[in-house]
A = this chain, B = another copy of it.
């Protein structure tokens, strides 16, 4: 039976990417060797890494603007501390919009003073704070573009007189933005880019080298830049699959093309959540995420019936995170509109049968 995979991450990837990945595990570039048994310094893999980095910069429209793309290990969680290790001399400002922002903020506190400029914790992170003040004497400002767990997304980024650092783990490559406003962007691959095991870092070189502390080699962006993501053995398979996914996106027409589809998917689900009397949305309407739609059943609705219906329809991965409860439909780039339509049909059927 066809699956409709709404997993929050690791998550659905394009079928053609999955097929090509499996082929490369058996026989990479017709070498009669597996992708996973060759040297990362072989000509063929160095080309993969170079291509992945180039594609990332191309999609973000950041070529020849002083940025470098890196594929590192450790997940976005390692970036929480690396960002601070490399940039925080005295004081940094953080916007707290959810679990991931809170964790980033916590790690930064080990390295200097951290100002929480605003937080939506008062309402279990169901909105994006606006109109907050950012101190002017900071080393950088940090925010999370999309809050995977709570289903909110920043639409308008603040103007800051300091480096702008953004965790884009769950919405990178999903919508057009002026990425040149950002100085450090990071994203675990396992949403819109590839499998778990590698993390994209895009950094404007000029912001580096300004802290006085000694940075361990593996945590030093400059060292990874100088060795072109090959300071040590990279996560070969995850980088390869990311390259394939970035290539798939390019063939599809890039971010502007996928954004149209993502808008359609988000419209489709939110329209039904609002229309259907058995469901209510979790996030404030104006801050709703186009990647993760969070919603709950209204009181008294028959949860067992709904759960039975979506499971029977081949839907998986829509249970909400324990911090929110209810449901979360994650609609990353590779999720077809058809899957959202199937979910909406199930929601309508649930209404009819209730």
Contact = CB atoms under 8 A, between A and B. Distances in A.
The A interface is mostly helix, strand or loop, or mixed, namely: loop
B233 A75 contact: yes
Interface string A33-62: 110111110000000000000000000000
A217 B81 contact: yes
Instruction: List the number of copies, as a whole number.
Output: 2
A39 B196 CA distance: 10
A8 interface: yes
A12 interface: yes
Contact of A237 (B31, B188, B237): B237
Contacts of A216: 80-81, 107, 110
Contact of A110 (B25, B76, B214): B214
A32 interface: yes
Interface string A71-112: 001111110110000000000000000000001001100100
- Which bucket holds chain A's interface residue count? 35 or more
Contacts of A234: 196-197
A278 to B, nearest CB: 26
A5 B37 contact: yes
A78 B8 CA distance: 28
A37 B110 CA distance: 34
A219 interface: yes
A10 interface: yes
Nearest to A39: B7
B37 A10 contact: yes
A304 B216 CA distance: 42
A21 interface: yes
Interface of A: 1-3, 5, 7-13, 18-19, 21-23, 25-26, 31-34, 36-40, 73-78, 80-81, 103, 106-107, 110, 188, 190, 194-198, 214, 216-219, 231-238, 241, 316-317
19 contacts: A1-B32, A7-B39, A8-B39, A10-B236, A12-B37, A18-B36, A19-B26, A21-B36, A36-B195, A73-B73, A73-B78, A75-B233, A81-B216, A81-B219, A103-B217, A196-B234, A196-B235, A196-B236, A237-B237
